[in-house]
């Protein structure tokens, strides 16, 4: 089984798309519950720009739950706003260009960010939970890379040739 958590409007064929508030979701469920997904049943779980919405306690609960749903050797694939990139590019005059990465889109009651990440902090959390082989992944090299989601967020917006990738794309193995 392949899970796509917090799918929003980005439907992935061949995956079980789960979202609490999406009209295209296969299953409407909270990513902190996953009550219909058996433990040790998933070969891969993908959550794109979901973790930052769950808060400082909630994100660790989510990572722990998602680990229980993975088979041994299963992959947790995450994409989150990269705060290291935000800090690198912020020059004191362009704050509004980063609002989406910092605060979310704020289009629905779930679309607010309440925690942020860089590679080192997220890697540490994943290793603390017992994940191994933590590394970054390239959206151009995954099967769902043809679906334009926030793992492909660039500044300037949509400039995938010359822009800076603003998404931290990270995987970990159970």
Secondary structure in 3-state letters for 33-54: CCCCCCCCCEEEEEEECCHHHC
Angle at alpha carbon of residue 109, lines to 103 and 114, rounded to 5°:
35
- Given this model, what pLDDT does residue 121 score? 97
Residue 16 covered by a domain: yes
The helix (H) or strand (E) run that includes residue 75 is strand 70-81
86 within some domain? no
pLDDT for 44 equals: 98
Q: What is the CATH number of the domain that holds 47?
A: 3.40.50.150
pLDDT of 1-48, one tens digit each?
999 999 999 999 999 999 999 999 999 999 999 999 999 999 999 999
Question: In the prediction, which pLDDT does 120 show?
Answer: 98
Burial class (CB in 10 A: 0-12, 13-18, 19+), 135: exposed
Q: What range defines the domain where residue 15 resides?
A: 2-81+114-151+167-173
For residue 158, is it within any domain?
no
pLDDT in tens, 91-147: 999 999 999 999 999 999 999 999 999 999 999 999 999 999 999 999 999 999 999
Q: Which residue has the tokens 């694939």?
A: 77
- Residue 154 and residue 163 in contact, taking contact as beta carbons nearer than 8 Å: yes
Name which of 60, 109, 107, 52 is nearest 83 in CA terms.
52
The predicted structure's pLDDT at residue 96: 94
Sole residue written with tokens 């912020």 = 90
Name the nearest CA neighbour of 172 among 78, 109, 97, 100. 78
Look at the block and give the residue holding tokens 């990572």.
63
The answer to whether residue 99 is domain-embedded is no
pTM (2 d.p.):
0.96
| Tokens, residue 76 | 């947790």
The domain total for the chain is 1
Domain presence at residue 143: yes
Q: Decide if 52 is inside a domain.
A: yes
């Amino acid at each position: 089984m392949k899970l796509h958590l917090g799918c929003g409007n980005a439907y992935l064929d061949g995956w079980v798309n789960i979202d609490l508030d999406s009209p295209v979701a296969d299953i409407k469920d909270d990513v902190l519950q996953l009550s219909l997904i058996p433990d040790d049943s998933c070969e891969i779980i993908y959550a794109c720009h979901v973790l930052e919405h769950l808060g400082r306690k909630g994100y660790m609960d989510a990572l722990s739950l998602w680990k229980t749903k993975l088979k041994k050797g299963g992959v947790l694939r995450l994409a989150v706003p990269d705060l290291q990139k935000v800090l690198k590019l912020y020059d004191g005059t362009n704050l509004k260009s980063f609002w989406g990465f910092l605060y979310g889109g704020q289009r629905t009651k779930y679309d607010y960010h309440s925690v942020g990440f860089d590679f080192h902090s997220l890697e540490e959390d994943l290793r603390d939970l017992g994940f191994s082989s933590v590394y970054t992944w390239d959206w151009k090299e995954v099967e769902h890379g043809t679906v334009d989601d926030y793992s492909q967020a660039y500044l300037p917006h949509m400039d995938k040739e010359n822009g800076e990738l603003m998404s931290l794309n990270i995987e970990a193995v159970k």
